[in-house]
Copies of this chain bind each other. A is one copy, B any other.
Amino acid sequence: MGRPRAFDEATAVASAAALFASRAYDGISVDDLVNHLGVHRNSLYQTFGSKRGLYLRALRWHLDEQVRPALRRNATFDNGLDFLLLAATERAPADPEVATEITRILAEFDEALTAPATSALLGDHLRARLSR
């Protein structure tokens, strides 16, 4: 019961993931999220608890719905590693939960490919990101 949500939670998480993949965590304000998602400030806090809560939800969604499926199918990642890359370099050192997620997914990369292949893949995507 109660008033129904005016936004789709899954859509909001996906949209947040796209935004978090584009700039550093501290470079994205809650106002930016509000504008980009079209969801009002209070709804975000009620649904996700905090900016960090939304970030973690978005990161896990990115890994579960974009990275892992591509890894299983041995498909290409296209731009689909940007969030992972940014989280690994910028956020993991500052947030233990992010570090845990990144460490886990990289272990899965090592298992599916090899450690050198994982490093090469990360390096390639880092460089590709510079040309975009």
- Apart from A88-B130, A123-B124: 5 A-B pairs, beta carbons within 8 A: A24-B91, A24-B94, A89-B126, A99-B130, A126-B126
Q: Residues on A close to B: CB < 8 A? A: 22-27, 85-86, 88-94, 99, 102-103, 106, 116, 118-124, 126-127, 129-130, 132
Across-interface contacts of A88 in B (CB, < 8 A): 126, 130
Q: Chain B residues with Cβ under 8 A from A123's Cβ?
A: 118-124, 126
A103 to chain B, nearest CB (A): 6
B90 near A86: Cβ-Cβ < 8 Å: yes
Is the beta-carbon distance between A94 and B23 smaller than 8 angstroms? Answer: yes
Asked if A89 contacts B124 (CB within 8 A), the reply is: no
The CB with the most chain B CB atoms within 10 A, among A26, A88, A121, A123, is that of A123
Q: In the bound complex, what is the Cα–Cα distance between A121 and B89 (angstroms)?
A: 15
Q: How far is the CA of A122 from the CA of B116 in the complex (A)?
A: 11
CB pair B127–A93 under 8 Å, yes or no, is no
Taking CB atoms, residues of chain B closer than 8 Å to A124 are 119, 123
CA distance A111 to B72 in the complex (A): 35
